[in-house]
Amino acid sequence: MTDTAIPTEFNGVPTTKLFGTIAKLTDQPELATFRFTVRNRWVEGTASTSTVHEWYGAGADQVHVDEFSFSADHPTLGHGHGPTPQEYVLHALAACITAGIATGAAARGIELRSVTSKVVGEIDVRGVLGIDQDVRKGFGSVAIEFDVDADADDAQIEALIAGGTKYSAVFDMLANPTSVNVRRAAS
């Protein structure tokens, strides 16, 4: 497929919309600022539930078609309400790079048959529990391994993985310092 025109949708990616969005944001960079909002509520113990519905992008307030809900908990101190917050970070990394691989393949006319990955994050919880102040509270390392089955040679698959990683917002947030401000809500 790499030698012919790319259809309006390829690998489930709406390529017409993808290229149209790139062109529009190139011409109107002020529309490229997006803001995502997650609302969280404590359930019990170490469990909480987050909802995702509203967001801002393309110069206007937006909403997802549905409201999404995610529960999180901790395995040893919790009650089994959901994955740990750290596991959601690993999911976000895999999902973001996978989306980049899919859009990169669609843009190049490369047919994907499957994309799978395994993400492993190593953390020493002595930092989180306040046992040792010298131990980092977050992941000490994260490793992700992709298996891509596509109508492409090894060099093209490596380029898809590299591009998916290079343009991943979640990879960037994990690999580079991000300004995070925590404060009490105004009464």
Same domain, 120 and 143: yes
Q: What is each CA distance from 80 to 16, 39, 51, 69, 154, in whole angstroms? A: 43, 20, 18, 16, 41
User: Average of pLDDT values for 9-32?
Assistant: 89
Same domain, 134 and 57: no
Residue range 57-93, pLDDT digits in tens: 888 899 999 999 999 999 888 888 899 999 999 999 9
165 closest CA partner among 108, 114, 101: 101
Same domain, 27 and 118: yes
pLDDT for the residue 75: 85
| pLDDT > 50? residue 3 | no
pLDDT for the residue 77: 83
Is residue 184 assigned to a domain? Answer: no
Phi, psi (5° rounding) for residue 160? Answer: -65, -45
Is residue 186 assigned to a domain? Answer: no
pLDDT for the residue 187: 83
| pLDDT > 70? residue 28 | yes
pLDDT for the residue 30: 92
Same domain, 41 and 93: no
Type of residue numbered 72: A
Is residue 134 assigned to a domain? Answer: yes
Phi, psi (5° rounding) for residue 142? Answer: -135, 135
Is residue 153 assigned to a domain? Answer: yes
Domains of the chain: total? 2
| pLDDT > 90? residue 165 | yes
pLDDT for the residue 2: 44
Grouping H, G, I as helix, E, B as strand and the rest as coil, residue 141 is strand
Same domain, 132 and 100: yes
Same domain, 24 and 40: no
Same domain, 92 and 133: yes
Is residue 57 assigned to a domain? Answer: yes
State the chain's mean pLDDT as an integer.
92
Is residue 142 assigned to a domain? Answer: yes
Grouping H, G, I as helix, E, B as strand and the rest as coil, residue 97 is helix
Residue range 130-151, pLDDT digits in tens: 999 999 999 999 999 999 999 9
Same domain, 24 and 46: no
Is residue 163 assigned to a domain? Answer: yes
pLDDT for the residue 4: 55
**Residue ending a domain, choose from 50, 77, 104:** 77
Same domain, 55 and 124: no
Q: pLDDT band for position 162 (50/70/90)?
A: very high
> Which domain covers residue 55, as residue numbers?
36-77
Contact (Cβ atoms closer than 8 angstroms) between residue 110 and residue 120 = no
43 closest CA partner among 92, 97, 79: 79
Grouping H, G, I as helix, E, B as strand and the rest as coil, residue 37 is strand
DSSP assignment letter at 184: P
**Residue ending a domain, choose from 53, 77, 101:** 77
